[in-house]
Amino acid sequence: MSKMKDLFSGLKLPAKFSTSLASLPLDDIFSGKKQLVGLDIGSSSLKLAEILENKDGFILNHFSQIPLEKGIIEDGVLIEPGSLTEKIKDLFKGTAFNRKGIVTSLSGHSAIIKKVTLPSMEDAELRDLIRDEASKYLPFDNMDDVNFDFQVLGPNEFNPHQMEIILVAAKKEVIEGFTDAIVSAGLSPFIMDVDTFALETMYEANYDFEENHIVAMINIGASITNINVVKGSISLFTRDFTLAGNSLTEAVQANHGLTFEAAEKMKIEGPEGDDLTKKTFRESLLSYADPICTEIERSIDYFRSISGGENIKKVLLSGGVANAPGLAETLAQRLNIETEIIDPFRKIDYNKKKLTPEEIKAIGSTAAVAVGLALRRIGDK
């Protein structure tokens, strides 16, 4: 289902976009050869993943990452497009990916995901009506400024004359901000996804699940936390909020009188000193994470209240903050749900000539969105 989310849909491709597309050899695009790479534009780092497919399944052929200084992207909003372009160029330097189509994503307040119920109708009728319907549910004054995509999830559980639809929308200027930065780096944006659904793509490729299996995917990055509760391959509930790893860094910064960068380093590597100092520091980090856990708990409680007590079987944690020692255990206790760190390489193999097992382990949960993006294929709709 996650394959549907392409915010370029309905968009008349800007000339420069079609030009850059035309510069890709058409036979590569349409022969089914794997010609896309995933670019996760996070606020703390850019991640680039390429996944190839052979007879045994998917293989991660490339992964690289470079940090972004604070202020280039804030809460999913692009503030410094020129700096982003330079960083994208750095990331792609030395790769042969400049001829490939880029799959990237929006997150946080940049993209709106909404589930709506409509009377049951045929696809053709829905396509005619969806724009007007979407305008009722989306908080935009003028739908001409907006790109949106939708997917029919299926009939309403309680009323067979109604169907459930998921809408995804973003302002054109927001999408163009990111695509322009990518185009300026000499690359061709091809699919615009959202982080939440990229994670779903990653989940579907890696986890065996039954259709009634309910899992909460929680992605805690630097500035945004994404929550997506799925039943099988259907999304039941999504929420993004702008509170994540940076809040821990800021607390370390304030309590230790450090710069943001020094606090970030201390947060990840731990303080100098004996075991007790390190243990105390780890405990303090968990207490700084308390507001994030509270917000997650609230969302899950809300989901439970609207879903008639549907039982979440498992929480799968991703994003850099998933690696904070003790966080998974804390969430498991607070939510009373088994919680584990997501593994994007559970079923996806990796190129042993280019990547080591240590690297794969280290990138783990941070690579989850990029892997989901890199799994998209030409023709996915």
Ligand X SMILES: Nc1ncnc2c1ncn2[C@@H]1O[C@H](COP(=O)(O)OP(=O)(O)OP(=O)(O)O)[C@@H](O)[C@H]1O
Where do contacts with ligand X occur on this chain (CB under 6 A)? 42-45, 107, 221-224, 244-246, 249, 264, 267-268, 319-321, 323-324, 366
Site for Mg ion in 28-67 (CB under 5 A): 42
Among Mg ion, ligand X, none, partner that 228 touches (CB below 5 to 8 angstroms by kind): none
Among Mg ion, ligand X, none, partner that 245 touches (CB below 5 to 8 angstroms by kind): ligand X
Please choose, from the candidates 44, 91, 85, the residue with its C-alpha nearest in 3D space to the C-alpha of residue 64.
91
330, 41 contact by CB (below 8 A): no
Among 38, 221, 245, 344, indicate the residue that binds Mg ion (CB under 5 A): 221
Q: Pick the closer one to ligand X by CB: 35 or 196.
A: 196
Q: Pick the closer one to ligand X by CB: 153 or 252.
A: 252
Residue 363 beta carbon to Mg ion: minimum distance, rounded to whole angstroms? 13
Q: In angstroms, what CA-CA distances link 370 with 13, 97, 209, 229, 286? A: 24, 15, 22, 20, 27
Please choose, from the candidates 168, 184, 199, the residue with its C-alpha nearest in 3D space to the C-alpha of residue 38.
199
What is the chain's alpha carbon radius of gyration, rounded to the nearest angstrom? Answer: 21
The DSSP 8-state label assigned to residue 319 in this structure reads S
Residue 315 beta carbon to ligand X: minimum distance, rounded to whole angstroms? 16
Residue 369 beta carbon to Mg ion: minimum distance, rounded to whole angstroms? 5
Among ligand X, Mg ion, none, partner that 222 touches (CB below 5 to 8 angstroms by kind): ligand X
Q: Where are the alpha helices (DSSP H) in the chain?
A: 15-22, 26-30, 81-92, 123-137, 172-184, 195-206, 245-256, 260-269, 275-288, 290-306, 327-335, 357-363, 368-374
Residue 319 beta carbon to Mg ion: minimum distance, rounded to whole angstroms? 6
Residue 76 beta carbon to ligand X: minimum distance, rounded to whole angstroms? 6
Q: Pick the closer one to ligand X by CB: 320 or 372.
A: 320
* Binding footprint of Mg ion on the chain (CB under 5 A): 42, 221
